[in-house]
Chain A
């Protein structure tokens, strides 16, 4: 309805729907068919305040243009009601607008492709024997197409070459630009003198193939970047502030010290502060790796990133936004991360070896032919032919084509490759270090041993009164055993301690040792106390993440050294390590200890892959040779990691290593293939027998071979 009004041109609407930018982004993780698209778009368009809505299925995202009155949350509720799961995305995190760089490259590619095809047609006529005025006419037409096309399409190379020259480096873009410019200039001169070869189509096809490589490279990075940004945009942290006029929901970034906030059970603390009201248990595993929740009471300090488990809290904010310990630790990591950006990729190294060689060969052939033949013009022609033939057309495609194929394959396996050199670094790994809590284990406990019979029925009745993860595990355990809840009256939860109630005539308690009158012995668990009898222990164990055992076994079978470094207690670590078959495990480590262990391994000459999810792993993730973080981890961990695990199963880790190795091998193969074509063509060019036809053949066959070889990987 509103959309129709807007189209009708009512003056109150500032811009027509076609001009307005989408201002609300909604993540639609489950859309997969035409019906989903139609449902989503109809639901959104029917909502009040919506001018237009468009689903982008590739990005799994709806772009909604509103008149400013619709709220993202309301739209999501409507979508949920229509049967589609939907979450609002933070438009500010994602960055607005379409992908301009990609579109720009695509346009240059289109122009270069068009010009190349037309000039190639004209050139075929010349090569097959057109002579005299026909030849001259074809050359003139070719020139008229080529010069503007090159001026527009090859701009990215010219700009990059200019930048690298100013920085005093000799990158790959310099010989590329030189070859394109010299070939064009030389051909123009040949038209005037009416002799020799004309290289227009060589210059154009060089531009075109290299643009294809650039585009692949760019689109691969963009896909990873946007998916990573989406992960961050999904959990926009909000907080409930207790203001002068009642509670209000504000973004966590808007909190200031002195604010009072309410944190309900199940919520993550949005800022550092001190508890004013309420008692609870806090899950600190994301910060320290400890699985055992810590009790907290008024006056205790709490930190951003901890999860409130059992009781509602009122917290007075002490530090918020960028000042929280979480944010400061995360920014430390961002600084450390730049060290890894120095990794020289295979393409860089190939380029560094190649660029001087190309210049040297061209210069040498010019010098030789000038000295020997005495004809500078002919010598220049041969030098340009050498430059064109050696120019790394296939070299520009060799690595990006493999990256695209491998990243696509990993994405289907549930892995998001974030960094450009991640594949190469993954392929070099020989040691794998796992974090425990949240990585190898899910962080939710299960029951290892519990009393049976009536005790279990009482325990179930008590456990159902709490949201504490251990209590929930116990309730699930009792339900599975078929124990009906006993009739427990006056049940109350004492946050931070346990649950108490009255069963028949006796008092019953479930919870910490101190709460039930038992002796604390340091092992994780809880106690059940019935009436006058001795408290009974209920032992907890950790639930392993799905595929953890198989993944560790597969890694060990493939000859990797597998270690576990955890911030949790030594007993819990030893237990998990034994269940998974990891021989080297260490517990009680601080984040600094973890980094020190990784540095120790690096000093032994090991290339370490770190897999971890918490803040205490973040520094280690950044320090390792390569790193993987589960998508369920903290934002800081995900942004420090090279690869994000989107599926729940750890089996994706050995798969990632396998694909990375295959990709690395394929890249090297491609570079050798490209070099092989050059090895055949360069001698021909050096002796002055190269023709534009030969150049065109060598360039297209090598580019196509390299692309097809890369594509084999995606199956």
Chain B
């Protein structure tokens, strides 16, 4: 059962990373224009800064 002492923190940290990624994406306005995002991927211009 000692393996738990190792695995539980690992799973929590991984989950926490996912949560952080979600919080970041929300803060960075990644959900503001889902319609446009699927078209922008076809454009040649590099573009990663949605307007808040």
Contact = CB atoms under 8 A, between A and B. Distances in A.
A57 B41 CA distance: 13
B22 A110 contact: yes
Contact of A110 (B8, B26, B33, B42): B26
A52 B31 contact: no
A336 interface: no
A54 interface: yes
B11 A33 contact: no
Contact of B23 (A55, A107, A117, A121): A107
B31 A117 contact: no
B34 A106 contact: no
Majority secondary structure, B binding face? helix
A41 to B, nearest CB: 8
Interface in B1-52: 1, 4, 8, 11-12, 15, 18-19, 22-23, 26, 29, 31-36, 39-43, 45, 50-52
Nearest to B45: A38
Nearest to A35: B43
Contacts of A134: 1, 4
A56 B52 CA distance: 11
A37 B26 contact: no
B38 to A, nearest CB: 9
Nearest to B14: A118
A-side interface size class: 20 to 34
A493 B36 CA distance: 51
Given A52-B51, A56-B36, A106-B26, A34 B19 contact: no
B51 to A, nearest CB: 4
Contacts of A110: 19, 22-23, 26
Contact of B26 (A38, A52, A103): A103
Given A22-B51, A58-B34, A34 B42 contact: yes
A119 to B, nearest CB: 10
Contacts of A137: 4, 8
A227 interface: no
A37 B36 contact: yes
Indicate the member of A111, A118, A121, A137 with the most B CB atoms within 10 Å.
Answer: A118
Q: Which of A98, A111, A114, A121 has the most CB of B within 10 A?
A: A114
A84 interface: no
Given A98-B29, A114-B22, A137-B4, A57 B51 contact: no
B40 A37 contact: yes
A103 B33 CA distance: 13
B39 A33 contact: yes
Contact of B43 (A37, A56, A63): A37
Contacts of B45: 38
Contacts of B33: 55-59
A111 B19 contact: yes
Given A63-B51, A98-B52, A141-B8, A55 B36 contact: yes
Residue from B19, B26, B42, B51 with most neighbouring chain A CB atoms (10 Å):
B51
A22 B41 CA distance: 23
A106 B28 CA distance: 13
A59 B51 CA distance: 13
Contact of A57 (B4, B8, B36): B36
Nearest to B15: A118
B19 A114 contact: yes
Contacts of A35: 43
Contacts of B40: 34, 37
B19 A56 contact: no
A137 B19 CA distance: 23
A34 B35 CA distance: 11
Given A54-B50, A114-B18, A137-B4, 16 more contacts: A33-B39, A34-B40, A37-B39, A38-B43, A38-B45, A58-B32, A58-B33, A58-B34, A65-B51, A103-B31, A110-B19, A110-B23, A114-B19, A118-B11, A118-B15, A121-B11
7 contacts: A57-B33, A58-B32, A58-B36, A98-B32, A103-B26, A106-B31, A117-B15
Interface of A: 22, 33-35, 37-38, 52, 54-59, 63, 65, 98, 103, 106-107, 110-111, 114, 117-118, 121, 134, 137, 141
7 pairs of A and B residues whose beta carbons are closest in the complex: A57-B36, A54-B51, A58-B35, A34-B42, A34-B39, A57-B35, A56-B33
